[in-house]
Amino acid sequence: MRVTVRLDDELWKQAKSVAAETGRTLSSVVEDALRTSLARQAANRRERIKLTVSDGAGGLMPGADISDSAALLDLMDEGLDIEKLR
């Protein structure tokens, strides 16, 4: 496809220089640069993760205060002792 693109003068000079040094056309240099840039952006996109959401029926574990990280760590260190929580 034939298109018209406006390039910064310095960028155009650099691309033209690369084309001359490598024996390629300016079009092929621009195409490769665009492909590389698009592939990098695609690789950097994060895949959406679907999180499972509780229906709230179970609620929080008794004694768990989600605003107190130290207390949560203590609960995790103690392990899940169901009899102790009743």
Q: Which amino acid is at 54?
A: S
Q: Is residue 79 part of a domain?
A: no
Whether 74 shows a pLDDT value over 60: the answer reads yes
- Total domains present in the chain: 1
For residue 28, the enclosing domain spans: 9-44
d(CA 81, CA 62): 11
Q: Is residue 71 part of a domain?
A: no
Q: Which amino acid is at 60?
A: L
pTM as predicted: 0.50
Q: Is residue 22 part of a domain?
A: yes
Whether 57 shows a pLDDT value over 80: the answer reads no
Q: Is residue 69 part of a domain?
A: no
pLDDT of residue 70: 86
